[in-house]
């Protein structure tokens, strides 16, 4: 019988493989022991899998239920939860203040986490800028665009698009024969039209066409893909796996979104070159005139400004519509206040700012359905957060959704009750959704103006009601950095005047 001689190198190959496998197993065991028992954050409770790997964090983000997953974790483990090997989540107002407020002589700043603020671009601008000095310069450059004086001068832009929306909602609702208008889409039309005009003097024409502009559709579809750069930064070995966890269209649309923004910026730069004396009234004007940003930076800037300014307002308006229709008594109270002013023409920013119940409805909407539901990650300088010392280098955040639904912070947090903002002794900070400190949202005043005017004019003009059973609309909403809600069909019938 003939025998087949095995290659002489086989034992060596097998031996190397066994040693490699043994080494990996030993490394993994050592890593688990370190993260679970010896790591500086080992004393903080949380899911064991989150303490040893980034997979728990990635899973919570990619499935669209990140806010609620964090909320369940906090209910189980308490006010501080370890959500990644080197990351903590806090669910108290005090923690929010400690992390995001301006630094003092006795308290060092919590800087932005560079891993999270990875937008896939070769530059970091404004929202994504990590360096405090550079961010302060950029913020100072555009701050005049959001001043009270500027907003009063440009309120006519907001009023114009809101008036157009009010007209469209009535005609579309009537034409639907009871099927209603999707408030989710309609509020996006408005938010992006206004922000397009305010940013680079060019509306998307969505309200006029009663159709979501493809650029906005691309943003919503590509939001899933937009999370990939930060997740890949956390887990480099998975860079070839994560892209398959989102749709191919999401990745393609993200590229289309960039190309369209690039074309828009080029058009806006040409406008400024041809008419430098008149083309500086929008937000891009002073930025282009300054000359320090190249085209790549301007594209990133425009993307950030339009999305941040339009998306948040749209979700707030949709949320307010849902809560008001779901709570007829609240809607009636708001109708009485708005309609008591007398005429449609009186619904100006100045007049509406003093309406107590309108403001309470907005506050409560931002609490119950915060547009930015996740926590903004910061790196601890080695400071206390709500009484807990967090070592330098650890990442911390205070997720808005988790805080605003924390039963130890709010009475009946799942009840929509605007009256809570009219009662004495409300200790929670207002406008939590817009953050605080040196990185707080610059567009807070503009956002409130848009929301006030839009809600007031719709409530003044129409009797709103769900067109069909809405189901668990709030529970069905998913978050991929931005909210993605299911349709909310609403009938807008001309108000009864008798």
Residue 357: CATH number of its domain: 1.10.630.10
- Please state at what angle helix 183-200 crosses helix 295-326, rounded to 10 degrees: 150
Tell me whether residue 10 is in a domain.
no
Radius of gyration of the chain (CA): 25
Residue reference for tokens 């004086």: 149
Structure tokens at 245: 């966890």
Tell me whether residue 4 is in a domain.
no
pLDDT of residue 70: 97
pLDDT in tens, the chain (498 residues): 455 454 555 577 777 777 778 878 887 899 899 999 999 999 999 999 999 999 999 899 988 999 999 999 999 999 999 999 999 999 999 999 999 998 888 899 999 998 888 766 667 787 888 888 888 888 888 888 889 998 999 999 999 999 999 999 999 999 999 999 999 999 999 999 999 999 988 899 999 999 988 888 877 776 666 777 788 788 777 667 766 666 676 667 777 878 888 999 999 999 888 887 765 678 998 888 888 888 988 988 888 888 888 889 999 999 999 999 999 999 999 999 999 998 999 999 999 999 999 999 999 999 999 998 999 999 999 999 999 999 999 999 999 999 999 999 998 999 999 999 998 755 555 667 888 888 888 889 999 999 999 999 999 999 999 999 989 999 999 998 889 999 999 999 999 875
Q: CA-CA distance, 117 to 322, in Å (whole number)?
A: 31
- Using the CB atoms, write b or e for 247-282: b if 16+ within 10 Å: eeebbebbebbbebbbebbeebbebbeeeeeebeeb
Q: Are strands 111-112 and 378-379 parallel, antiparallel or unpaired?
A: antiparallel
Tell me whether residue 3 is in a domain.
no
Tell me whether residue 227 is in a domain.
yes
Q: How many domains does the chain have?
A: 1
Nearest to 90 by CA among 315, 481, 368, 409: 409
Structure tokens at 209: 């066409």
User: Taken in order 401, 402, 405, 409, is the CA torsion positive or negative?
Assistant: negative
Tell me whether residue 167 is in a domain.
yes
Range of the domain at 315: 43-494
Tell me whether residue 5 is in a domain.
no
Tell me whether residue 459 is in a domain.
yes
Write down the H helix ranges in 78-123.
93-100
Tell me whether residue 176 is in a domain.
yes
Chain-centroid distance of CA 436 in Å reads: 15
Asked whether the whole model's pTM tops 0.85, one would answer: yes
Residues 6+ apart with CB under 8 A from 67: 373, 374, 399, 401, 402, 479
Structure tokens at 420: 């809570």
Q: CA-CA distance, 68 to 370, in Å (whole number)?
A: 13
Q: Which residues pair with 111 in a beta bridge?
A: 379
Q: CA-CA distance, 84 to 88, in Å (whole number)?
A: 7
Write down the H helix ranges in 327-370.
328-339, 349-352, 356-368
């Amino acid at each position: 019988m003939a025998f087949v001689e095995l290659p002489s190198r086989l034992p060596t190959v097998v031996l190397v493989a066994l040693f490699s496998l043994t080494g990996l197993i030993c490394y993994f065991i050592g890593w688990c022991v370190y993260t679970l028992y010896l790591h500086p954050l080992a004393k903080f409770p949380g899911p064991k899998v989150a303490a040893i790997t980034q997979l728990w964090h990635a899973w919570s983000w990619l499935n669209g239920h990140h806010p609620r997953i964090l909320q369940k974790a906090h209910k189980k483990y308490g006010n501080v939860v370890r959500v990644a090997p080197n990351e903590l989540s806090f669910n108290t107002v005090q923690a929010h203040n400690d992390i995001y407020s301006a630094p003092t002589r006795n308290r060092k700043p919590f800087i932005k986490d560079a891993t999270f603020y990875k937008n896939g671009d070769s530059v970091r601008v404004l929202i994504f800028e990590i360096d405090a000095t550079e961010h302060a310069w950029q913020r100072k450059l555009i701050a005049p665009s959001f001043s009270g004086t500027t907003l009063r001068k440009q309120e006519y832009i907001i009023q114009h698009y809101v008036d157009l929306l009010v007209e469209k909602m009535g005609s579309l609702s009537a034409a639907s024969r009871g099927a209603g208008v999707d408030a989710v889409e309609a509020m996006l039309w408005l938010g992006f039209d206004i922000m397009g005009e305010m940013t680079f003097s060019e509306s998307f024409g969505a309200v006029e066409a009663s159709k979501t502009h493809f650029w906005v559709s691309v943003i919503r579809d590509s939001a899933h893909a937009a999370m990939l750069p930060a997740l890949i930064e956390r887990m480099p070995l998975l860079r070839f796996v994560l892209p398959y966890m989102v749709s191919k269209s999401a990745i393609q649309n993200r590229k289309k979104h960039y190309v369209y923004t690039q074309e828009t910026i080029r058009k806006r730069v040409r406008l400024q070159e041809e008419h430098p004396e008149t083309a500086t009234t929008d937000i891009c004007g002073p930025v282009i005139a300054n000359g320090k940003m190249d085209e790549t930076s301007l594209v990133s800037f425009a993307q950030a400004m339009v999305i941040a300014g339009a998306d948040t307002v749209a979700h707030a308006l949709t949320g307010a519509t849902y809560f008001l229709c779901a709570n007829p008594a609240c809607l009636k109270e708001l109708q009485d206040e708005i309609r008591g002013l007398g005429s449609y023409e009186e619904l100006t920013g100045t007049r509406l700012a003093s309406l107590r119940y309108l403001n309470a409805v907005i506050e409560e909407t931002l609490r119950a359905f915060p547009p930015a539901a996740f926590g903004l990650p910061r790196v601890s300088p080695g400071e206390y957060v709500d009484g807990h010392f967090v070592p330098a280098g650890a990442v911390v955040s205070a997720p808005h959704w988790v805080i605003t639904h924390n039963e130890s912070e709010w009475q009946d947090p799942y009840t929509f009750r605007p009256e809570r903002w009219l009662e004495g002794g409300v200790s929670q900070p207002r406008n939590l959704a817009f953050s605080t400190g040196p990185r707080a949202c610059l567009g807070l005043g503009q956002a409130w103006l848009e929301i006030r005017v839009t809600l007031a004019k719709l409530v003044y003009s129409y009797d709103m009601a769900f067109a069909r059973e809405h189901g668990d609309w709030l529970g069905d909403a998913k978050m991929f950095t931005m909210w993605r809600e299911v349709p909310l069909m609403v009938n807008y019938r001309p108000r009864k005047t008798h």
